[in-house]
Amino acid sequence: MKIHHNGTPIHHGKTPKEKILSAFHFTETAFGRIGLTKRCRFLWKLPAQTRDKWLPLPPKEKNFDVMMVSIKGRLSILLFAMLCVLYSCSEKAVVEKYDSGKAKLVAVMKKKDGVKVKVGEERLYENGKTRHKGKVVSDKRTGIWKFYFENGKLFSKADFTNSPMGENWSVYDTAGTEIVNGKDKVLEVHFASDGGLCDIKVKRGSGEVFYKFFESFKPCIISNMKGNIPNGETTSWFENGKLNSFYYYKDGIQDSSYKVYTETGGLLLSGQYKMGVKVGKWEYFLSDGTPAGIEIYDVDGTLLKGRN
């Protein structure tokens, strides 16, 4: 053995112990000691005392023999899992395409008693991301269905096992804030022709809230309701996320503040209602923000001053 000038031995390559530890750790890290047993075969021939001394075995694995039994057991479990996947595999069939040729609707097929049946469905955006997907039985939704924004973020999910309307709904806005959850009692749900969620009305506390969505699943209208009539604040948006209008109802009649905006966010109109009657000052603007006149109304709705 060569000696370094500082007195320490110089090693060329790894020692036998280092080789064993290297093989063991590589197997441990890569496959949880399930695979790469070929690298460890030579360890089997070592004396048990040497193996136990050199290998840092976990507390439950007292010696190398136990470790090898564990490896073989895990290999058997892996093989069983692979066979399960092999015999339960399904295939996808494109049912509808975009004009670009990209898949739009995909049916998940599986053989049952030698016959292919549809067990699932997935609708895609043209960018290839999932729009909504879930399981079907006899062409009806069942189990958990999930709906997604075009950017891949979750929009909503529900369980259709016991109801065609879905149960335990969770709905999120584009920022990821949950606007409907399992505590809300679902009163009405409507779906678009492609199966996407169109609107949902829920009972929350003593009131009701109605949510309507664009085809992109972005919020279109959120309105507080009393039965089938608006009651309270109602807000609407453009599909680009900009505020469209903001107003109030009282038992179905417009009351209080009323504002309308342009698609770029500019104010178009601002005024006040008193139980369906215009009152006070009403201001009008052009789409570029230029003032377009003012109207003044009396408390009974009489026009006191018109726009010039």
Per-residue pLDDT of the chain (308 residues; tens, 9 = 90+): 555 455 555 555 555 555 444 544 544 444 444 444 444 444 445 555 555 555 554 554 445 555 555 555 665 665 555 545 444 567 999 999 999 999 999 999 998 888 999 999 999 999 999 999 999 999 999 999 999 999 999 999 999 999 999 999 999 999 999 999 989 999 999 999 999 999 999 999 889 999 999 999 999 999 999 988 999 999 999 999 999 999 999 999 999 999 999 999 999 999 999 999 999 999 999 999 999 999 999 999 999 999 87
Q: Are strands 229-237 and 219-226 parallel, antiparallel or unpaired?
A: antiparallel
**CA 66/CA 35 separation, integer angstroms:** 16
The count of other CB atoms within 10 Å of the CB of residue 297 is 20
The beta-strand segments (E) located in the chain are 91-97, 103-112, 115-124, 130-137, 140-148, 154-159, 167-172, 178-180, 185-191, 197-204, 207-213, 219-226, 229-237, 243-250, 253-261, 267-274, 277-285, 291-297, 303-305
pTM of the model: 0.70
Token pair listed for 7: 């007195």
Provide the pLDDT for residue 192. Answer: 96
Instruction: State which amino acid sits at residue 223.
Output: S
Q: What is the predicted pLDDT for the residue at 112? A: 86
How many CA atoms lie less than 13 Å away from 275 in the CB half-sphere?
A: 2
Q: Say how far apart CA 134 and CA 43 lie, in whole Å.
A: 49
Residue pair 234/223 in contact by the 8 Å Cβ criterion: yes
In a 3-state reduction of DSSP, which class is residue 39? helix
Note the pLDDT of residue 75.
Answer: 58
Measured CA to CA in angstroms, residue 39 lies from 19, 35, 302 at distances of 10, 9, 94
User: Is the C-alpha dihedral spanning 67, 68, 73, 78 positive or negative?
Assistant: positive
Query: Which residues sit opposite 233 in a β-bridge?
Result: 248
Residues in a beta bridge with 42: none
* 263 conformational bin, left if phi > 0, alpha if psi -120 to 50, beta if neither: alpha
Secondary structure (3-state) at 81: helix
Name 282's Cβ contacts closer than 8 Å, sequence gap at least 6.
Answer: 269, 270, 271, 272, 294, 295, 296, 297
Q: What are the Cα distances from residue 276, in Å, to 252, 256, 293?
A: 9, 9, 22
How much is the pLDDT for 53? 52
